[in-house]
Amino acid sequence: MDKVAARQEAGRLRAEINRHNRLYYVEARPVISDYEFDRLLERLIAIEREHPDLVTPDSPSQRVGGEVTKVFPVVAHREPMLSLANTYSLEEVADFCRRVEKLVEAEGGRDPEFVAELKFDGVAVSLLYRDGVLVRGATRGDGRQGDDITANLRTIPSIPLRIEAPGGPLFGAPSGEVEVRGEVFMRKEDFGKLNDARPEEDRFANPRNATAGTLKLQDSSEVARRRMSFVAYFLTGGDDGRTPHLHRLRQLEVMGFATGGNYRLCKGADEIASFIGEWSEKRWRLPYETDGVVLKLNDTTLWDRIGATAKSPRWAIAYKYPAQQAKTVLRDVVFQVGRLGTITPVAELEPVRLAGSTVSRSTLHNFDEIGRLGVRIGDRVMIEKSGEVIPKVVGVVLDERPEAAVAIRVPESCPECGAALVRPEGEVGFYCPDEEGCPAQKRGRILHFASRNAMDIQNLGESLVAQLVDRGLVGDPGDLYRLEKPQVEGLERMGAKSAQNLLDSLDESRKRGYDRLLYALGIRHVGQATARELAHAYPSLEQLRQAGAEELAAVPDIGPVVAASIRDFFTRGWVLTMLDKLRDAGLPLKAGGAKELVNRNFEGLSVIFTGGLERHDRQRASELVLERGGRVVTSVSKKTSIVVAGSEAGSKLDKALKLGVRVIDEEEFEKML
Ligand code: IVH
């Protein structure tokens, strides 16, 4: 492509990609599939690779990251980033209204209006646009200065790299400096996916921690993979400084920012109280976490005159929803043994209703936590659910402690295998040291190996694994592939059919890629992303086994702790034996075996194409299914999952309809991709 055509095509692709980004992330109504979107981006990147001088700083290709920042430079904020005074009481909110009314009256005004907004539970950042282009993004830091994390923030699709709509209703063209403040957060769904892909021992407690941790990463391409979002709630610059806050929010939307849209102009404490009341329930249905309501005086010309205390402005306040609590009895504490030997105390509670579900168990995390709570068995305890997290014990009702309450003792030996527990220096946890013999660790390792993001072995649940281990049929994941049908048939609740299903699933799992296997091995601190990096750097397990700690630590995403853990893993005798078994079973101990899937939307499904397809030829359509974990078959039977019927489909369609097989058209197929 010549330069002129390339420039034109790049411009067209950028506009198209920006439009789809906005539809997806800001307006939440995508009109093309992820696949189509990726194709647009790939084309743009290809053109820019061919003509590097055409790359612009606001090109969507610049969102994929790649920049590695060793130390974030510290930058001063134009205006201090204040935080807000918090309250949990509606009365204090009413006091706030009265206070502001007085201050406003002193300035010659009356009946002030407030904008009520949701309080997003994430991390506050400031974005600076110069002549419409994003030039700097920073954390709040101590309020006066923060870290320059521009490279990381650029990867967030809902942060416009360029303010798109100059000359909105009130603001002029975005010349000069415009500052936008808002919250970076992770949607519940994106948080779930991120955590699922991480090893158990490294999971984030909640979306906010995940967001804060991600913003601090040095490698912006990892940040890009983690899917974060941004909502804007504050705009300065670009106008005469008199635009009311409500209009600034609208202006932010015109500029291409998401605001969440759930704000309202309120007059007086009663209207504010009803907004708070309305959202106390509705907020649970939002795709992200909120923890309260923020109230801001709408008339921004009064902000400076009313002023601020050292920490927070007098013209705004945050009302926080109280966490949902319930009182119940701690019946007992049991000790669970994880796949890495960690002992976790778990509270068994008298079942109680809390925030829409019945709670009868809750983790006590570790023994320090028990000490901190001072809790005994038999105590009345308070449990709490905040955000989406699982309930936790937050306190003891000491007045109601029964005489018979007994202290919780740290077990001396493993409840599963009896080995004496150890507590490594400097750690809060106790461990069962018998990696090789402890049945709980064996079960945990096998279940991890079989889990969805690892080898995805269907039909291998907890009770089956427990039986296999108890009977000595399976001691490590390598043994799974040596199982024979009669052995499985003899187990409880298993018959010929379910035994065959298990063996088929095991067979199927041999096709997973090398990087999946690396993750499935369950090396401490090696999650999916790390496993992928390792697979890339060491295309065979043998090479990985021989890598030194220093060499490992040079791989992106791998620090000294992970490197040491990998080294340690390969020194274990049982590990080497297990690897031999896996090799014998024909599992991919090197790269290039099975291909990485695009996604798993067709996993476990058999698909038939019939009739004429318009968007893809048959060959490509089949590839699309294979790349998504499905199979393509040629004759219809009761076992067929889906028939994709194109124009003038004939006998196969008739047969599918007769057998009650699901039939879809090309459009629906496209959606499924
Ligand atoms: S306004 C001076 N609006 O809450 C105004 N903050 O405790 C400062 N937050 O640091 C912020 N949602 O991280 C504002 N709609 C919202 C908010 C919001 C969440 C956070 C923000 C701030 C903290 C204040």
| pLDDT tens digits, 282-324 | 998 899 999 999 999 999 999 999 999 888 999 999 999 988 8
Question: pLDDT digits over 454-500, tens only?
Answer: 999 999 999 999 999 999 999 999 999 999 999 999 899 898 999 99
Q: Distance of alpha carbon 561 from its chain centroid, rounded?
A: 23
119 is catalytic: yes
Mean of pLDDT values over 198-217 = 89
Cα separation, 257 vs 373, whole angstroms: 44
For 82, how many CA atoms within 13 A lie in the half-sphere containing its CB?
18
Does the beta carbon of 183 lie inside 6 Å of ligand 1?
A: yes
Does the beta carbon of 117 lie inside 6 Å of ligand 1?
A: yes
* Cβ burial 471-486 (10 Å sphere, 16+ → b, else e): eebbbbbbbbbebeee
Output the pLDDT for position 387. Answer: 61
Ligand 1 atom showing the smallest separation from residue 124 Cα: 13
Mean of pLDDT values over 103-124 = 94
Question: pLDDT digits over 539-559, tens only?
Answer: 899 999 999 988 998 887 788
Sign of the alpha-carbon torsion through 208, 213, 216, 219: negative
pLDDT band of 169, cuts 50, 70, 90: very low
Considering only 21-35, 144-158, 163-177, 458-472, which range has the smallest mean pLDDT? 163-177
Give, for 91, the enclosing helix (H) or strand (E). Answer: helix 90-106
Ligand 1 atom showing the smallest separation from residue 121 Cα: 19
The two three-digit tokens of residue 12, written as one number: 């067209």
Does the beta carbon of 137 lie inside 6 Å of ligand 1?
A: no
Question: pLDDT digits over 140-156, tens only?
Answer: 999 999 999 999 999 99
Query: Is residue 204 over pLDDT 70?
Result: yes
Output the pLDDT for position 338. Answer: 93
Asked if 346 and 336 count as a contact pair (C-beta separation under 8 A), the reply is yes
Does the beta carbon of 245 lie inside 6 Å of ligand 1?
A: no
Q: How far is CA 317 from CA 95, 103, 140, 280, 505, in A?
A: 11, 15, 18, 17, 56
Residue 651 gets which letter from DSSP? H
Mean of pLDDT values over 73-93 = 94
Query: Is residue 219 over pLDDT 90?
Result: no
Pairing of strands 290-297, 177-185: unpaired
Question: pLDDT digits over 389-426, tens only?
Answer: 678 899 999 999 999 999 999 899 999 999 999 998 88
Share of the chain above pLDDT 70, in %: 96
Asked if 100 and 186 count as a contact pair (C-beta separation under 8 A), the reply is no
The two three-digit tokens of residue 624, written as one number: 């699309």
Ligand 1 atom showing the smallest separation from residue 140 Cα: 10
Name the catalytic one among 102, 119, 392, 658: 119
Does the beta carbon of 303 lie inside 6 Å of ligand 1?
A: no
Does the beta carbon of 121 lie inside 6 Å of ligand 1?
A: no
The single-letter code of the amino acid at 566 is I
Query: Is residue 175 over pLDDT 70?
Result: no
For residue 594, the SS3 value is coil
Output the pLDDT for position 430. Answer: 94
CA of 240 to the centre of ligand 1 (A): 23
Asked if 405 and 379 count as a contact pair (C-beta separation under 8 A), the reply is yes
Nearest residue (CA) to ligand 1, atom 21: 124
Give the position of tokens 């004759």. 635
Count of CB atoms within 10 A of residue 646's CB? 18
Nearest residue (CA) to ligand 1, atom 13: 124
The two three-digit tokens of residue 268, written as one number: 């007086």
Backbone angles phi, psi at 119, to 5 degrees: -100, 110
Query: Is residue 172 over pLDDT 60?
Result: no
Considering only 60-74, 499-513, 593-607, which range has the smallest mean pLDDT? 593-607
Does the beta carbon of 234 lie inside 6 Å of ligand 1?
A: yes
CA of 119 to the centre of ligand 1 (A): 7
Considering only 145-149, 175-179, 334-338, 626-630, which range has the smallest mean pLDDT? 626-630
Cα separation, 588 vs 261, whole angstroms: 49
Query: Is residue 170 over pLDDT 50?
Result: no
Q: What is the pTM of this model?
A: 0.74
Q: Distance of alpha carbon 146 from its chain centroid, rounded?
A: 25
Helix, strand, coil fractions of the chain, as percent rounded to 5: 40, 20, 40
Asked if 123 and 172 count as a contact pair (C-beta separation under 8 A), the reply is no
Query: Is residue 620 over pLDDT 80?
Result: no
**Three-class SS string for 360-414?**
EEEECCCHHHHHHHCCEECCEEEEEECCCCCCEEEEECHHHCCCCCEECCCCCEC
Ligand 1 atom showing the smallest separation from residue 118 Cα: 15
Share of the chain above pLDDT 90, in %: 61
Rounded CA Rg of the chain: 29
Q: Which residues pair with 231 in a beta bridge?
A: 183
Q: Indicate the average pLDDT of the chain.
A: 90
Nearest residue (CA) to ligand 1, atom 22: 83
Asked if 26 and 156 count as a contact pair (C-beta separation under 8 A), the reply is no
Cα separation, 28 vs 298, whole angstroms: 27
Task: Please list, in sequence order, all residues whose beta carbon lies within 8 angstroms of the beta carbon of residue 544, skipping any fewer than 6 positions away.
Answer: 518, 534, 538, 566, 570
Does the beta carbon of 313 lie inside 6 Å of ligand 1?
A: yes
Output the pLDDT for position 171. Answer: 57
Q: Return the beta strands (E) in 523-579 as ranges.
A: none
CA of 77 to the centre of ligand 1 (A): 16
Mutation probe of ligand 1 site: the residue of 234, 294, 309, 314 with most atoms within 8 A of C-beta: 294
Output the pLDDT for position 578. Answer: 96
CA of 211 to the centre of ligand 1 (A): 16
CA of 84 to the centre of ligand 1 (A): 7
